[in-house]
Amino acid sequence: MENNKPKIAVVTCAYIPEGKIEHGTAIRSVQNPNHYEHYDEDKYETLMFTLACYKHYNAGMEYDVFVIDNSSPDKSIREIEEYCKGNKITFEKRENIGFSFGAFRYAFEKYWKDYDYFLFHEQDFAPAKDGWLMEMIEFCNSEDNIGAIGNCVEGPRNKEMPTAYGSYQLYPEIGDFFFNLDQLALVKTDVLKKCIDKWGWRLIEWTPETEGQGSATINELSFTLPIYLSGYKLKGFVNQRTHICTHGVCVMDEQPWELELPDERVAPMVLNHARVFHPRFKRLFNWYNE
């Protein structure tokens, strides 16, 4: 840390399938958990929107951006690479092992000595307001013993839950239950390094045999487990009921208590699918189409 300013790495992963389109992306109502819709998502456009949000919003503090490409087969990834080169964003390509969380591991192992914090997020998460990064750093330091923060802490999960089976296979030390962060994690470098040195990275490496076995979901649930198992707190904005958040695939509407909150209380980062469906985020992100 130089001049008392933390050095922060913001790491997102990139994967654009052949033809750009991921068919049947699911979204869900938060007010009616049984109501789902599906749409065909342009993964190139999703990532370009995320990159545009980095430029549009003032983060409140300095940071470096890394885009780690998981060997995207579509040629449009070259346009992403050129955009990054023109906007002081580090673009790197790697073999697609371990999905998004393999990309996060790659970036952390390569650059951990250079930064005080790492913010890991999927390519479909985007900053949503000015001061977004400063607010996350302040939240991360708002209590003692916080190891990582995000939009939502999920759990408790236990051995009887099918979604938790893979995590128990990777981490038999878990015990009766565990919690995890959903899709977005700001972590202190010294905390993550210490936890990984103790527990190791336990991620499923993608193979054709594991494609249909929930590998990506298992890695998502397991990514912050070394922090949780080491006794650190995981904290989420939505769990405090102080912010309008998107988490999981819930991007269609708001909780009743969220309706009472002003625009200033949107979470620092949200799933950018919300700009297509969510009434408030349709309005807040309308600058992108102007």
Looking at residue 170, its pLDDT comes to 92
* Structural domain contains residue 107: yes
Per-residue pLDDT at 247 exceeds 80: no
Tell me the mean pLDDT in the region 262-276: 94
Give the domain range for residue 18.
8-289
How far does Cα 121 stand from its chain's mean position? 3
Burial bucket for residue 69 (CB in 10 Å: 0-12, 13-18, 19+): buried
* Structural domain contains residue 51: yes
Lowest mean pLDDT across 4-18, 50-64, 201-215, 254-268: 201-215
Looking at residue 98, its pLDDT comes to 79
Average pLDDT of every residue of the chain: 92
Closest CA to 158 of 167, 147, 149, 148: 167
* Structural domain contains residue 43: yes
3-state secondary structure the chain: CECCECCEEEEEEECCCCCCEEEEEEEECCCCCCCEEEEEEEHHHHHHHHHHHHHHCCCCCCCEEEEEECCCCCCCHHHHHHHHHHCCCEEEECCCCCHHHHHHHHHHHHHHHHCCEEEEECCCEEECCCCHHHHHHHHHCCCCCEEEEECCEEEEEECCCHHHHHHHHHCCCCCCEEEEECCEEEEEHHHHHHHHHHHCCCCCCCCCCCCCCCHHHHHHHHCCHHHHHCCCEEEECHHHCCCECCECCECCCCCCCHHHCCHHHECCEEECCHHHHCHHHHHHCHHHHC
Per-residue pLDDT at 213 exceeds 60: no
Looking at residue 75, its pLDDT comes to 97
Q: What is the pLDDT of residues 140-158, one digit of tens each?
A: 999 999 999 999 999 999 9
What percentage of the chain has pLDDT greater than the value 70?
95
Tell me the mean pLDDT in the region 177-184: 90
Lowest mean pLDDT across 160-174, 176-190, 237-251: 237-251
Per-residue pLDDT at 210 exceeds 60: no
For the beta carbon of residue 222, count every other beta carbon within 10 angstroms.
25
Strand 90-93 and strand 64-69: pairing?
parallel
Q: What confidence tier does 207 reach under pLDDT thresholds 50, 70, 90? A: low
Q: What is the pLDDT of residues 105-114, one digit of tens each?
A: 999 999 999 9
Closest CA to 125 of 18, 10, 203, 225: 10
Tell me the mean pLDDT in the region 266-282: 93
Tell me the mean pLDDT in the region 276-289: 93
Q: Which amino acid is at 254?
A: E
Tell me the mean pLDDT in the region 53-72: 97
Our count of domains for the chain comes to 1
* Structural domain contains residue 197: yes
* Structural domain contains residue 2: no
Tell me the mean pLDDT in the region 163-172: 91
Tell me the mean pLDDT in the region 247-272: 90
Looking at residue 249, its pLDDT comes to 80
Phi, psi dihedrals of residue 148, rounded to the nearest 5°: -160, 150
What's the CATH code of the domain at 178? Answer: 3.90.550.10
Tell me the mean pLDDT in the region 91-109: 92
Per-residue pLDDT at 214 exceeds 90: no
* Structural domain contains residue 1: no
Tell me the mean pLDDT in the region 130-138: 98
Tell me the mean pLDDT in the region 192-205: 93
* Structural domain contains residue 227: yes
Tell me the mean pLDDT in the region 271-275: 90
* Structural domain contains residue 3: no
